[in-house]
Amino acid sequence: MTARILIAGEALTDIVVDADGARREHPGGSPLNVAVALSRLGHDAHLLTAIGDDVRGDAIRAHLDESGVQLTPASVRPGRTSTAEAVLDAHGAATYTFDLTWDPDTAGLPETPDAVHTSSIAAVLEPGATTLSALLRSARGSSTISYDPNARPTLMGAPEDVRARIEKNIALSDVVKASDEDVAWLYGTEDVEDVAASWRDLGPSLTVLTRGGDGAVAFSASGRVQVAPVQVEVVDTVGAGDTFSAGILDALAAKGLLGADRREMLAAIPSDDLATVLRRAAALSAITVSRAGANPPWSHELT
Q: What is the pLDDT of residues 39-87, one digit of tens each?
A: 999 999 999 999 999 999 999 999 999 999 999 999 999 999 999 887 8
Rounded to whole angstroms, how far apart are CA atoms 146 and 148? 7
Q: With pLDDT > 70 as the criterion, what percentage of the chain qualifies?
A: 98
Q: What is the mean pLDDT of residues 166-173?
A: 97
Looking at the whole model, is its pTM more than 0.75?
A: yes
Q: What is the mean pLDDT of residues 176-202?
A: 96
Q: What is the mean pLDDT of residues 274-282?
A: 97
Q: Is the pLDDT of residue 94 over 70?
A: no
| Res 92: pLDDT | 62
Q: Is the pLDDT of residue 222 over 90?
A: yes
Q: What is the pLDDT of residues 18-41, one digit of tens each?
A: 888 888 899 999 999 999 999 999
Mean pLDDT computed over every residue of the chain: 93
Model confidence at 229, pLDDT cuts 50, 70, 90, reads confident
